[in-house]
Amino acid sequence: MIGAGVGDALVWYSASRMPTTPGARPLRAVGREALLERFEGALEEKEGASGAHCIHELWMRNEPPMNIEAMIARLWSAASDTVPEWLPMRYVSWLSLAYEVAARFQVKGRGRANIYLVLLDYSDRGGEPYGVYVGATRYAPAARFDQHKAGIRAAGSVLKRGLEVLTGPVLHLQRIPSGQAAEIEEGLAEALRAEGLLVRGGH
């Protein structure tokens, strides 16, 4: 179990008690030094989920990119079996913005459709190295990404430039009605584009 100070209190969390949705930001009230201590404890205990929440919270607070990248590498090295899929494998400068924009979209009811985001590599073009593909699918996002990379109903941008699925921002947009998924897919792409991101898909 990992301990961290919140004000003068000492609050304990285990990986099993930690909320699994990064958008909830369960460590929002924890100070930076306490987050770093908690992270070191997570490495020692090989608690990937706890470590991921520490990284995520610092990321949302605009921790320097080199620090985030170093922490990601250390967490994967220490606890690769327990790192949650929502933690990206690389630093993305606009990740907090993606969370903010995606949170504007809410759904009613349940269904079989999933909204997914794919990180695209545009490092060969200069400027911002990453773009994002917005899609909707009846498959699990990771499975749909594998289909893209295998050339199965593939979008050219994902086939050629897809790096990984960005799971976290759209965790609340899983298993939704297909009609709403189509609307959200288009709306989310437009909203991210309006914020200045390089966006593909969304249709």
pLDDT in tens, 103-161: 999 998 999 999 999 999 999 998 899 999 999 999 999 999 999 999 999 999 999 99
Whether 151 contacts 190, CB under 8 Å: no
| CA atoms of 25 and 72, how far apart (whole Å) | 17
Pairing of strands 2-6, 199-201: unpaired
What residue spans define the domains of the chain?
Answer: 2-82, 104-201
**How do 130-137 and 199-201 pair as beta strands?**
parallel
pLDDT(6) > 60? no
Question: For residue 19, is pLDDT > 70?
Answer: no
Residue 157 CB neighbour total at 10 angstroms: 20
Question: Which has the closest alpha carbon to 52: 65, 68, 64?
Answer: 68
DSSP β-ladder status, 9-13 and 130-137:
unpaired
152-176: pLDDT as tens digits: 999 999 999 999 999 999 999 999 9
In this prediction the pTM is 0.89
The whole-number average pLDDT for the span 91-95 is: 97
